[in-house]
Amino acid sequence: MTDTTAAPALALTDLHASLTDPVLDAMNFLNEVVARFPEALSFAPGRPSEGTFETDDLARHLRSYTDHLEQARGWSKDQVRTHLFQYGRTNGIIHELIARTLANDEQIHVAPESIVVTTGCQEAMLLTLRALFAVPEDTLLVSSPCYVGITGAARLLDIATHPVPEGADGPDPEAFAAAARRLRQEGRRPRALYVVPDFANPSGTSMTLAARERLLRVAAEEDLLILEDDPYGFFVRAGSARPTLKSMDHERRVLHLGSFAKTALPGARVGYVVADQEVVGPGGRRSLLADELSKIKSMTTVNTSAIGQAVIGGLLVECDCRLREANAEAIAYYGTNLATLLGELERHFPEERRRELGLSWNEPTGGFFLVVDVPFVADTKALEDSARTFGVLWTPMSDFYTEGGGEHRLRLSCSALTPDQIVEGVRRLARFIESRAAEATERP
């Protein structure tokens, strides 16, 4: 391939419309912004801490998994070799270990066959959306502000989304009910709603137990499925963990989306979805929704990497499928980080100063994120200035609103920094905020 003739360029406007949608840029931005400002302290990406991970752990996890197959399950070495080398079961090979882990950690009791192991939780979202959304009227309700992974996947598939504003306690069941009724009146079909009940990305909010109960009732009343995404539920800073929606789901209204990126390691790219709904086909033939998702998965990635699954499988075997206990150190670490972040914000901006500036933030009881309301436009231009001049990165909240909003808000993530870095990061952030506030005052 040599460049002897001029190559005809493709027009961006001739490509799929998702490519000019800001939400797709936002995700790339989140993933790659750190590389652009290597010297800056970053409150931007929701990356997990590397903790005590060492590269050699990968070989150990692989060995734990193959030992498990040979010793606990009596497989031959040949069977194990084929299992890791070959194409395999479309819905995954560690579904039984995941089912045991969900039972131990979340009191979610489901058949392993209802679990689809995916290439990260992102593929689980893609499969789920593709299966459930059939006609242009089908609409996904999303708690807003909303994780860009779900709205971006919907955009790829030309699926309509409808934002439902969250409150201080996260997703609002009554607002979902009202939105569903209104959409139906407009001739649309509200099909499912997406929520992160614990320590949501981006807002850090959580649903009360009462709100969870109410949301399940709303789903039944309005005939909606619930897509529950719960990557941060383990990471409680204050108070105690609340039950997942799936553990309270008596009507199989909930599809539970899971990730090992935060509780194990992102590099394995293993997630899953629990899809234990029944599907009735022609002639009354019944299948699990998981089986239907399998057909779609065979056209997205065929299999989730057997090697990635084996690494996660080994890690689960090592902790006897009690991943919450295995995350005890990480839970303490993130709790300390979030407490440090809150404390430092308070130290730099005591109540009086906050009032003068028109500054505030929320105080999540866990997870990786909090939101700061600032007295200036927190857009990518402000972010570039923050990174270049003050050496600190954060995420503009406007990325998480599909229909505008959040222009004066920024997200801080404290998961990938040490407490010392948080102290220094907030010092830099405070200088940036004070500088912006001074600029605003100076202007006529």
Give yes or no for residue 115 binding its own copies (CB under 8 A).
no
Give yes or no for residue 149 binding its own copies (CB under 8 A).
yes
Residue from the set 251, 320, 356, 385 that interacts with its own copies by CB under 8 A: 251
Cβ partners under 8 Å of residue 323, min gap 6: 101, 104, 105, 234, 263, 264, 316
Residue 343 CB, shortest distance to its own copies, in Å, is 27
- Closest to its own copies by CB, 36 vs 353, is 36
Q: Which residues share a beta bridge with 41? A: 392
Residue 17 CB, shortest distance to its own copies, in Å, is 6
Q: Which of residues 282-321 bind its own copies (CB under 8 A)?
A: 282, 286-287, 289, 292, 294-296, 298-308, 311
Site string for its own copies, 338-377 (x = CB under 8 A): ----------------------------------------
Residue from the set 40, 97, 126, 218 that interacts with its own copies by CB under 8 A: 126
- CA torsion sign, 52 to 54 to 58 to 61? negative
What is the spatial distance between Cα 161 and Cα 275, in angstroms, rounded to a whole number? 21
Residue 80 CB, shortest distance to its own copies, in Å, is 6
Give yes or no for residue 187 binding its own copies (CB under 8 A).
no
Tokens of 409: 């808000």
Q: Which residues share a beta bridge with 257? A: 229, 273
Give yes or no for residue 202 binding its own copies (CB under 8 A).
no
Q: Which residues share a beta bridge with 277? A: none
Residue 387 CB, shortest distance to its own copies, in Å, is 19
Instruction: Please tell me the total number of residues recorded for the chain in this structure.
Output: 444
Concatenated DSSP letters of 44-64? -S-PPP-TT--TTHHHHHHHH
Cβ partners under 8 Å of residue 12, min gap 6: 19, 20
- Closest to its own copies by CB, 8 vs 187, is 8
Residue 96 CB, shortest distance to its own copies, in Å, is 16
- Closest to its own copies by CB, 206 vs 259, is 259
Virtual CA dihedral for 291, 293, 294, 299, nearest 10 degrees?
A: 150
Residue from the set 73, 158, 322, 353 that interacts with its own copies by CB under 8 A: 158
Residue 19 CB, shortest distance to its own copies, in Å, is 5
Virtual CA dihedral for 360, 362, 368, 372, nearest 10 degrees?
A: -20
What is the spatial distance between Cα 150 and Cα 122, in angstroms, rounded to a whole number? 8
How would you class 443 by CB atoms within 10 Å of its CB: exposed for 0-12, middle for 13-18, buried for 19 or more? exposed
Residue from the set 99, 115, 132, 218 that interacts with its own copies by CB under 8 A: 132
- Closest to its own copies by CB, 5 vs 71, is 5
Residue 79 CB, shortest distance to its own copies, in Å, is 10
Kindly report the CA angle at 194 between 94 and 279, in degrees rounded to 5?
60
Residue 90 CB, shortest distance to its own copies, in Å, is 6
Q: Which of residues 10-39 bind its own copies (CB under 8 A)?
A: 10-12, 14-20, 24-25, 27-28, 31-32, 35
Residue 71 CB, shortest distance to its own copies, in Å, is 14
**Closest alpha carbon to 337 in 395, 393, 421:** 421
Q: Are 263 and 327 spatial neighbours (Cβ–Cβ below 8 Å)?
A: yes
Site string for its own copies, 41-80 (x = CB under 8 A): ----x-xx-x--xxx--xx--xx--x----------x--x
Give yes or no for residue 258 binding its own copies (CB under 8 A).
no
Tokens of 108: 């979610």
Residue from the set 2, 71, 185, 441 that interacts with its own copies by CB under 8 A: 2
Cβ partners under 8 Å of residue 153, min gap 6: 122, 125, 126, 129
Burial string for 229-257 (b: 16+ CB within 10 Å, else e) reads bbbbbbbbbeeebbbbbbbbbeebbbbbb
Strand 254-259 with 271-274, pairing? antiparallel
Q: Which amino acid is at 172?
A: D
- Closest to its own copies by CB, 252 vs 408, is 252
Binding region for its own copies (CB under 8 A) out of 153-161, 164-172, 206-214, 344-352: 153-161
**Total of chain residues touching its own copies, rule CB under 8 A:** 109
Site string for its own copies, 75-114 (x = CB under 8 A): --x--xxx-xxxxxxx-----------------xxx----
- Closest to its own copies by CB, 122 vs 263, is 122
Residue from the set 1, 72, 185, 443 that interacts with its own copies by CB under 8 A: 1
